[in-house]
Structure 1
Amino acid sequence: MTRFCYIFLFIFTISATKFVYAQSIEVSIYGGLQSSPHSRITGKHSTSGAQYSELVGWEGKSFDAPIYYGIRTTFWRSDKLSYGAEFTHTKAYAPNKALQSAGFDRLEFTDGHNIITLNINKRWELGEFNTYSLVGLGIAIPHVDALPSGGLHTFEYQYSGPAVRGAVGLSRKLNDKFSIFTEYQFTASDNKVSLRNGGSLNTKLLTNAINVGVSYNF
C-alpha cells in the first residue's frame, strides 16, 4: 500500500505540472497522534448468517507499527490558494470487549485505514507564520484484518467507500526550501467491507489527529 501511495502522488505531480500552471509545488510528510472515536459496526456473520450490531470504541495506537503517517502534495496557484493530493495511513483497532460482543476474534484496520483525497487549500500570512485550512474529497482503501469467531480470516485491501478530510494548521518557513508545520486533521469515511464466505461489515470511521511535519518546496 505504501508503494501505491508513492506512485499515486508521483503520477499526480507529473500530470499536474505538465498541464496546469503552479507558482510552486510543496511536498509534505507528517506524523502525529491519531485517535478514532466510537462508531457502530453492523453486518452479517459468514459462519451463522446472524446479523450483528455493536458500538466500538476504536483504538488508534499511532506509534505501534505500522505507524500513523501521511504524505501531501500541494500545488500553489497563488500565494493564498492551492490544490493537491494527500494519502493518510490511519489506524483503527477494535478492543477485546467489543470483539467478544460482536462475535469476532480479531478486527483491525491497521495496515492501515488508508485515506486518499484531492484537496483545496487556502493560507493566510500571520507575521513569520502562515495559517492554513484545507478540505478534501476522496476514497477509503483499508487493509481489512477481520476474523469472525469460528469463521474465515479476511486479510486484504478493499475499496470500502467515499472519504472526506479537513485540516487547519500553522506553518513556518525555515529557509527557501523547507518549512515545518503543525495541524489538526479530521477524516471521515463510509465503509462497506466484504468478509470471506459471504459475511459483511459496515461502519462509519472518524479520525482526529494532531500532526507535525516538514515540507519541501520546489
Structure 2
Amino acid sequence: MIRHLLACASVASSVVFLSAAPAVAEFELGVYSGIQTAPHSRITGELPSGAEFDELIGWEGRSFQMPPYYGLRGTWWTSETLGFGLEFTHSKVYAPEDEAEAAGFDNLEFTDGINILTINVMRRWPDLWADGALTPYVGGGIGVAIPHVDADPTNGDDTFEYQFTGPALRLTAGMSYDLSERVGVFGEYQFTHSRNEAELEDGGNLETNINTNALNFGINLKF
C-alpha cells in the first residue's frame, strides 16, 4: 500500500514540476475511490510447461477489499476550460477460482493493481450554471499499464512482480462541486482499457485486454 502512495506522490510531483506555466493558471489535485468492476475478457498464452491456454474470465473487482481501489489525478488548468495533467489509478481484478483452474492456474489476479498511468486532456464548463459552483467536465488520456502480475500456474513457479505490459487509455465524465475556493468534491464515471502482455516465471506468457468501469467519488484541492 505504501509503495502505491509513494508512486501517486511521485505522479503529483511530476505534474507540479512539469507545469511551469503562467501564474494565472490553476493546479488541481484530486484523490478518489469508488466502485470498480471489469467485464469478461479472454486470456491466452502459454504456461511454463508448454501447454497453451485460451479461456474467458469473468473478472471480479472487489473494490473495497485490501488493497482498495483508488486513484490520484493532477490537472493544470491552463484556462477556465482546458486542462492537462497526469493520472494514476490502482484498479484490480481477480479471476474466479474455477476459471483460473480451467486455464491452468491455481491463482490468477492483478490485485496490487492493473496500475494505469496516463497523460490527460480535460475540458470543463464552469459557467454552465449561474452560480458556477457545480461544474461538469470530461477528459481522456493515453498511457501505460503497469500491473502487478500474480499468476500461479498449477505446474510451475508463481509470477509475483510488477511489469510494463502494454498501452492503456481512459475516458472520464463527471461533475465537481466547489465547497470553497480551495476545496471541492466530485463524482464521475471512468472507463479504462489496457492491453496486457505479461511474462511468466520460468517461461511462458499471458495476454489479455482488460476494461474497467468505475463510479468514482473524491476530493479536489486547488492551488
TM-score between the two structures when normalised by the length of structure 1: 0.96
Secondary structure in 2 matching 1:32? strand
Counterpart residue type for residue 102 of structure 1? A
Please point out which of 10, 14, 29 is paired with 1:11: 14
Residue 202 of structure 1: how far off its partner (Å) = 0.1
| 1:202 corresponds to | 207
Counterpart residue type for residue 11 of structure 1? S
| 2:45 corresponds to | 43
2:65 aligned with 1:60, yes or no? no
Residue 120 of structure 1: how far off its partner (Å) = 0.2
Residue 58 of structure 1: how far off its partner (Å) = 0.2
Residue 75 of structure 1: how far off its partner (Å) = 0.3
Alpha-carbon separation, structure 2, partners of 1:165 and 1:132:
14
Number of positions where the alignment pairs a residue of Structure 1 with one of Structure 2: 215
Counterpart residue type for residue 116 of structure 2? I
Please give the per-residue CA displacement for 1:65-117, whole angstroms capped at 9, x wherever unaligned.
Answer: 00000000000011110001000000000001211210100101001110000
| 1:212 corresponds to | 217
2:163 aligned with 1:150, yes or no? no
Alpha-carbon separation, structure 1, partners of 2:38 and 2:64:
14
Counterpart residue type for residue 130 of structure 1? T
Secondary structure in 2 matching 1:10? helix
Alpha-carbon separation, structure 2, partners of 1:112 and 1:95:
17
CA RMSD of aligned residues (A): 1.0
Alpha-carbon separation, structure 1, partners of 2:135 and 2:209:
33
Counterpart residue type for residue 15 of structure 2? F
Alpha-carbon separation, structure 1, partners of 2:179 and 2:17:
26
Counterpart residue type for residue 112 of structure 2? D
2:131 aligned with 1:129, yes or no? no
Give the unaligned 5+ runs of structure 1: none
Please give the per-residue CA displacement for 1:19-74, whole angstroms capped at 9, x wherever unaligned.
Answer: x3361000000000000110000000102x01100000000000000000000000
Alpha-carbon separation, structure 2, partners of 1:123 and 1:11:
23
Work out whether residues 101 and 107 of structure 2, in 8 Å CA contact, stay in contact via their aligned partners in 1.
no
TM-score between the two structures when normalised by the length of structure 2: 0.94
Secondary structure in 1 matching 2:125? strand
Give the unaligned 5+ runs of structure 2: none
Residues 159-178 of structure 1 mapped to structure 2, 5 A cutoff: 159-178=164-183
| 2:107 corresponds to | 106
Please point out which of 139, 146, 167 is paired with 1:141: 146
Residue 134 of structure 1: how far off its partner (Å) = 0.2
Alpha-carbon separation, structure 2, partners of 1:41 and 1:134:
29
Alpha-carbon separation, structure 2, partners of 1:5 and 1:34:
19
